[in-house]
Amino acid sequence: MPLIDLGYRRWDGVRSSRMWRALAITHTGLQLVWRTVWLRRLLWFAWLPILPVGIGFFLYEQSITQPDQQRMIAEIMEQAFDRPDVAEIVRRDPKEARHEVWAQMLFAFFRYPQAINMVLLFGLVAPRIISHDLRSRAYLLYFSRPLSVAEYLIGKLLILGTLLMMTTTVPALIVYVFGLLLSPDIGALVQTWDFPLRILLASLVFTLPTASLAMLLSSFTMDSRYASFAWFTLWVLGWVTYGVLTGLDVAEGGSGGGITLLSGSPTTRLVSLYHALGDVQSVVFGILRDPSAAQSAIMLVSVLTIVSILVTYYRVASHLRA
């Protein structure tokens, strides 16, 4: 028997706007992610790539006043990134090459470590994001409140978006600010004012298709292991197919070879989502001078996003009809 039992008490507080209620789903989802120790570690590890990029920014800004480092930056641009055009500008006037060098380094940050981090992170978090709700019928809890299927999906999408923002957008913005602080003159801000916008756009390009695809896979099963398997298979298969086709390209005298960022023909690159995404990001960062070269990739990524969202919507809504 309780010492005191007040029984049922009325509640007549103020309710928040319906528009923001989907954020409760996001908050709860992030709360659950944060409870997993190894996932928390992965999130910390995802910040490590900020170091080489930061060092790159530091060396470049040093190179403006120290000719020894000019050569090193030019060699990196030439050999590591296959950008002889940028290397040439660095040798001539490093200050003039600031936009290209920064863009190249930020693009590389998005393209290599953070893309792999995204595949791992989403592979661990996303498969259960909807499948667990379907298995435990949590959707009944959500939809018995004034929440639409679209709002539910936005709430879920924001979980993945926030995780990716924490591991990619925020570090990229920090590196950008770091670069500004290191630059010897205020002209750097005028030269690079567009980077925060490019970083945000690149993050969006990165998040929307991948998160939609991950949610689509999650909505197809009540057992998240199948969704995880499908997710990793998709990326690995894309890589392998691209590798095989690029190998054939090289053997036939194609454009592949070397440590290039954009090797293989545009059609070949469409077989791998990783490479197609890379093409779109290269347009965002201004690496690919001719955006029409990435037209097919932009189309593929857009169609993939729209189809994924529509099918996921249908899958979730169909459980209500059952």
Partner 1 sequence: MELLSLSRLSPHALLSSVREESLIRSPVIHLRGVRKRYGKHLVLDGTSLEIGPGVTGLLGPNGSGKSTLIKGLMGLVSIEGGEGEILGHPWPREARGIRDLIGYLPEDDCYVAGLQGVEAVQLAGRLSGLERMEALRRSHEVMDFCDIGQERYRQVETYSTGMRQKLKFAQTLVHDPPLIILDEPTTGLDPSQRDALLNRVRTLAQQHEKTILISTHILPDVRQVCDAVVILAGGIVRVSASLEQLSQPVRPGLSVWLAAGAEAFTELLSSRGLPWSQQPRGEIQLEGMQHADASQIWEMAASSGATIRRLEPARASIEQIFMDVVRQSQGATPGRPAVSSSIDSEGSSATD
CB atoms within 10 A of CB 37: 8
Residue listed under structure tokens 């939609």: 212
The two three-digit tokens of residue 191, written as one number: 């030269």
Q: Taking Cα atoms as reference points, which of 119, 297, 127 lies closest to residue 219?
A: 127
Nearest to 312 by CA among 126, 124, 39, 34: 126
The stretch among 28-36, 266-274, 279-287, 306-314 that binds partner 1 (CB under 8 A) is 28-36
Tokens (6 digits) for 180: 């500004």
The tokens of 278 are what? 């890379």
**Residue in 86, 92, 94 with CA at minimum distance from that of residue 59:** 94
Least distance (Å) from partner 1 to the CB of residue 233?
24
Q: Closest separation between CB of residue 128 and partner 1, Å?
A: 8
Burial (CB count <10 Å: 0-12, 13-18, 19+), residue 52:
middle
Query: Among residues 128 and 198, whose Cβ is nearest to partner 1?
Result: 128
Among 60, 107, 122, 142, binds partner 1 (CB under 8 A): 142
Among 66, 135, 181, 307, binds partner 1 (CB under 8 A): 135
User: Does residue 40 interact with partner 1 by CB under 8 A?
Assistant: no
User: Does residue 8 belong to the site contacting partner 1 (CB under 8 A)?
Assistant: yes
Judged by CB, which is closer to partner 1: 35, or 289? 35
Counting contacts by CB under 8 A, is residue 71 touching partner 1?
Answer: no
Instruction: Provide the mask over 215-254, with x wherever binding to partner 1 is found by CB under 8 A and - wherever it is not.
Output: ----------------------------------------
Whose CA is closest to 286, among 181, 192, 173, 189? 192
All residues at 6 or more sequence positions from 271 whose CB lies less than 8 Å from its CB, including other chains: 238, 241, 242, 245
Name the one range near partner 1 by CB under 8 A: 47-55, 90-98, 134-142, 273-281: 134-142
Q: Which two tokens stand for residue 68?
A: 């020894």
Instruction: Work out whether 255 is an interface residue with partner 1 (CB under 8 A).
Output: no
Q: Are 198 and 109 in contact (CB under 8 A)?
A: no
Q: Which is nearer to partner 1, 54 or 127 (CB)?
A: 127
- For partner 1, the binding residue among 141, 177, 236, 240 (CB under 8 A) is 141
Nearer to partner 1, 12 or 68 (CB): 12
**Calpha distance 172→196 (Å, rounded):** 9
Number of residues forming the site for partner 1 (CB under 8 A): 41
Residue 38 in contact with partner 1, rule: CB under 8 A:
no
Q: Which CB sits closer to partner 1, 289 or 321?
A: 321
Q: Which stretch binds partner 1 (CB under 8 A): 25-33, 42-50, 184-192, 236-244?
A: 25-33
Among 48, 140, 177, 307, binds partner 1 (CB under 8 A): 140
CA 74/CA 80 separation, integer angstroms: 10
> Taking the alpha carbons of 77, 113, 275, 210 in that order, is the dihedral positive or negative?
negative
Structure token pair of residue 218: 């999650």
**Which tokens in the block code for residue 64?**
């403006």
Q: How far is the CB of 91 from partner 1 (least distance, A)?
A: 56
Cβ 9 to partner 1, closest distance in Å? 6
Closer residue to partner 1 in complex, CB, 25/284 = 25
Is residue 70 within 8 Å of residue 63, measured between CB atoms? yes
Q: Residue 91 or 319: which CB sits closer to partner 1?
A: 319
Where do contacts with partner 1 occur on this chain (CB under 8 A)? 2, 5-13, 15-18, 21, 24-25, 27-28, 31-32, 35, 128, 132-133, 135-148, 320-321
